[in-house]
Amino acid sequence: MADGRSSSPGGGTRDNAEPSRIVVANDKSIARAGVLLRQGSLVALPTETVYGLAADATNARAVAALFAAKGRPRFNPLIAHVADTAAAEALAWFDARAAKLAAAFWPGPLTLVLLRRAEAPVCDLACAGLASIALRVPAHPMAQAVIRAAGGPLAMPSANVSGRISPTQAVHVAEELGDKVAMILDGGPAAIGVESTVIDLTGPVPTVLRPGGITLEALAEGLEEEITLAMTETGDDPEAILAPGMMTSHYAPSLPVRLEASGPAEWPDEALLAFGAAVPEGYALVLNLSPIGDLREAAANLFTMLRELDRPGLGRIAVMPIPRTGLGLAINDRLTRAAACRE
């Protein structure tokens, strides 16, 4: 794991930003993105959850370049993004549960982990050699258009340096990955702000590997059966990791993060990520995820505000308690990883 406190390559300093690579998404730039992807280049694009870094999932060289650009360990498999359920069914075996969830939540922020079809053209590297494959049909019209322009499945992790805060705006991608991408399509801020919910359907009990944009409550209702939430504190042992994005330290700002802060500042240079109307005193800077205590608004603001507080002149970030219901589960999951010890 990269130490989040050292400056990793392209690791989020504003000096690395290459605004020239940012292109407003329109018919022409989307067609160009399709050509670049078919040629094996990397393109960053908006989805409804966070910005993704896309490569042709069938091209092992392009996928290798994607792992290298992110500094991502190769044991951590990628989600294949497709335009619709029919395209997903060509890559994996759908049982009744998968069909039900796809009908209820696709297109949208849900990723299904299913058994991969032997004939699926997605390269082994994208799936980290596993027998399973993670699939998502994104709802964002620009993501949809780019997938169709590329003409096949796109491997698309979040467009950040591995282990760091996920990008919710095009400029974040430029800061993170600079000249490592051929093009960054700008579709404005991501609406949901946290990644898709990843649910594993390869075993007898549906298991959520990563809470995300579809809540557990909605999933249980859609599936009409019991769902378990995977143990998320797996440490960094690849053997113990079900979804390798579950590594304890992830989403990490450079500054140390203190959770469940309800009192005044403990340090003069401490910033506060607040939630709700009752904000404690004495912090060097306060950003409020949602003054009215709305979890949707908080999720949409989470990564942008964490990034904003991770700045020179501040020494640490305190975060107020956030309810663990609905989207609050995904928010707390990301914050726990952001706060995890990185030594």
Which residues here bind ligand TXA, judged by CB under 6 A? 47, 49-50, 52, 76-79, 109, 111, 113, 127, 130, 132-134, 136, 138, 156-158, 195-196, 198, 209-210, 243-245
Question: From Mg ion, ligand TXA, none, which one binds at residue 257 (CB under 5 to 8 Å depending on kind)?
Answer: none
**Region binding Mg ion by CB under 5 A among candidate stretches 40-48, 64-72, 152-160, 324-332:** 152-160
Contacts with Mg ion: how many residues (CB under 5 A)?
1
φ, ψ dihedrals at 221, nearest 5°? -70, -45
The nearest distance, CB 178 to Mg ion, in angstroms, is: 18
Q: Which is nearer to ligand TXA, 186 or 270 (CB)?
A: 186
Q: Which is nearer to Mg ion, 175 or 270 (CB)?
A: 175
- Work out whether 158 is an interface residue with Mg ion (CB under 5 A): yes
Pairing type for strands 110-115 and 197-200 reads: parallel
Question: From ligand TXA, Mg ion, none, which one binds at residue 249 (CB under 5 to 8 Å depending on kind)?
Answer: none
Nearest residue (beta carbon) to ligand TXA:
245
φ, ψ dihedrals at 137, nearest 5°? -110, 105
The nearest distance, CB 130 to Mg ion, in angstroms, is: 17
The torsion of the CA quartet 243, 92, 151, 49, rounded to 10 degrees, works out to -40
Cross-strand bridge partners of residue 158: 52
The nearest distance, CB 106 to Mg ion, in angstroms, is: 20
- Work out whether 47 is an interface residue with Mg ion (CB under 5 A): no
The torsion of the CA quartet 257, 196, 113, 231, rounded to 10 degrees, works out to 30
Q: Which is nearer to Mg ion, 85 or 180 (CB)?
A: 180
**Per-residue buried b or exposed e for 116-134, using 16+ beta carbons within 10 Å of the residue's own CB:** beeebebbebbbbeeebbb
Tokens linked to 331: 């928010």
Longest dimension (CA), the chain: 60
Distances (CA, A) of 36 to 60, 82, 180: 15, 17, 13
8 A C-beta contact, residue 47 and residue 190:
yes
The nearest distance, CB 186 to ligand TXA, in angstroms, is: 15
φ, ψ dihedrals at 51, nearest 5°? -75, 140
Question: From ligand TXA, Mg ion, none, which one binds at residue 133 (CB under 5 to 8 Å depending on kind)?
Answer: ligand TXA
Q: Which is nearer to Mg ion, 48 or 270 (CB)?
A: 48
Residues in touch with Mg ion (CB under 5 A): 158
